[in-house]
Every structure is written in structure tokens, then in C-alpha cells.
Amino acid sequence: MKILKIGGSFITNKSGYKSPNSENIESFANAVSLIWHQGVHDFILVHGAGSFGHPLVIKYKINDGVKSPEQKLGFADTHASCTELSSMLVAALVRKDVPAISISPNSIIEQKNKRISKFNKKLVLDYLKKGFLPILYGDAVPDTVLEGSVCSGDQIIAHLAKDAEFAVLATNVDGVLDREGKVIEKITKKNFNEIKKHLLKTENDVTGGMEGKLRELLALKTPSYIVNAANGERVIALMMGKKAICTEVRKE
């Protein structure tokens, strides 16, 4: 099994508010459809929330607990908004003959202090076995300490990747870039401290942007690849087990 993630920075206009990038949703759906129709069916798709998640979490102040009635309303709105984005991606995939099923992380994941503590993967794996393309996404989920919290697509990847051959994370940059804009080919725990100086803070991101992504990936035994979704052929190549311009992340 393989994992494919598409970043919210690609399928939405990240600086907007609930602003889909329809052209990019379409082009990514095309790449997925090509992968699917070449016979690769053993993968799970995860997408980020982008402007359907982060700005709502900031607006409703729900990143450190969901206690007041206003926060509960905000939590409900944020979850609905993430689900709305997921429906757009599903619609684009179904139009291209991919049997995509969006499964709400809110219904199968529980967190403890913003980290996944329970994950009922059975529904996801059952759909996969039946020949569907299961889709999960960054979402607002129940939390045993905070009542509710945000679960990033990257954290979902980290959990699913434990059982995967590799994970491909498609985003809006060619990979992790150094200050000259050159792609860093490989990141491991050994060179991470050295590479940290190249990481810029991402605005409108409540789940840590590129640094948050790398921290999730470096903890895994499974290799992962950060690749530009704007170059669909790179995403397709990596999913087929071939090489492409990207940043490879491995534990060592």
C-alpha cells in the first residue's frame, strides 16, 4: 500500500478564506486518474485543508481547546468546511472515473492534546480492499483533553505510513528548498538540524507548515517524497516507483 497526499496549499488559495483553487483541483484529479487507470489502486489519498481549515481555526480561536459555545460552533463550522473541500475533490475524481470515497477523520480519529490517540483504520482499509480510493483529510476532530482539536493531513499521513511502502506528499514547491531555491535532495535525522535554517515560517498555518511536515516524516521508518503537484508527471512517476525531482525524507 502507498500513500499520496495533496497539500492544501495546492488545491486551495491558501491566503484566502474558503477559496478553492479549482484549476489545481482539476489538474491534480487528472494526475490521480492517470495513476488509477494505469492500474495502481493500492493507495490512500489524503488532502490538506488549506484555506478551508487554517483561517477558520484562527478566526474561531479553536487551536487550544473547544470549550465555549462560540468555539463549539466554530469547531462545527471548521469540520463542515474541511468536508466541503473534500467533496470538491471527490466530485473531480468521480468525473474522471475514479471511485473515490471521502471518509471523515472526525468520525474515526480521536486525539489527546492535538495528537492522534485512536485511529479506526478498518473502514479505510475495507474500502481499499473493495477497490475504492479512500480519501482522508485534515480535519477538526474530537480531543479527550481539549474537547476538539485540529488533525493535520500530515499527521494522518504519519499514522497511515506505518503500514505503507512509501508516502508521496505533493505540495506547491519542488521540494524542500535551500536559501538559493535549490531542491534539497535528501533529509534525514542527521542533516535536519543543518537544514532547519532554510525553513521559513508559513503564515496562515496552524499545523506547522513545512517544518511540521518534516517533523512528522522524520519520525517514520517509511520513506517519503515531497514533490511539486504543479508537475503532475513527477507525482505520477513517484507513485509508479520511479524517480523524479523531489526531496526524499528518511529516518537515516
Ligand X SMILES: Nc1ncnc2c1ncn2[C@@H]1O[C@H](COP(=O)(O)OP(=O)(O)O)[C@@H](O)[C@H]1O
Choices 32-40, 108-116, 118-126, 194-202; region in contact with ligand X by CB under 6 A: 194-202
Q: What is the rounded distance in angstroms from the CA atom of residue 121 to the CA atom of residue 117?
A: 12
* Rg over CA atoms, the chain: 17
Q: Which C-beta is closer to ligand X: that of 71 or that of 214? A: 214
200 binds ligand X (CB under 6 A): yes
Instruction: Return the amino acid letter for 234.
Output: R
Q: Which C-beta is closer to ligand X: that of 92 or that of 170? A: 170
Taking CB under 6 A as the criterion, which residues in 38-97 touch ligand X? 48, 50
Cell numbers given for 36:
488509477
For ligand X, the binding residue among 3, 35, 156, 210 (CB under 6 A) is 210
Taking CB under 6 A as the criterion, which residues in 3-42 touch ligand X? 7-9
Q: Which C-beta is closer to ligand X: that of 29 or that of 127? A: 29
Are 53 and 81 in contact by the 8 Å Cβ rule? The answer is: yes
Minimum Å gap between C-beta 249 and ligand X is: 12
Choices 31-39, 196-204, 215-223, 234-242; region in contact with ligand X by CB under 6 A: 196-204
176 binds ligand X (CB under 6 A): yes
Are 150 and 140 in contact by the 8 Å Cβ rule? The answer is: yes
Q: What is the rounded distance in angstroms from the CA atom of residue 140 to the CA atom of residue 153?
A: 11
Q: What is the rounded distance in angstroms from the CA atom of residue 99 to the CA atom of residue 225?
A: 25
Residue with cell 507525482: 235
Contacts of 214 (CB under 8 A, 6+ apart): 176, 187, 192, 199, 249
Minimum Å gap between C-beta 198 and ligand X is: 4
Choices 67-75, 97-105, 120-128, 173-181; region in contact with ligand X by CB under 6 A: 173-181
Binding mask 98-137 for ligand X (x = CB under 6 A): ----------------------------------------
Choices 86-94, 117-125, 129-137, 193-201; region in contact with ligand X by CB under 6 A: 193-201
Contacts of 225 (CB under 8 A, 6+ apart): 166, 167, 168, 169, 238, 244, 246, 247, 248, 249
User: For residue 28, what is the enclosing H or E element?
Assistant: helix 22-37
151 binds ligand X (CB under 6 A): no
Residues that bind ligand X (CB under 6 A): 7-9, 48, 50, 171-173, 176-177, 198-200, 202, 205, 209-210, 213
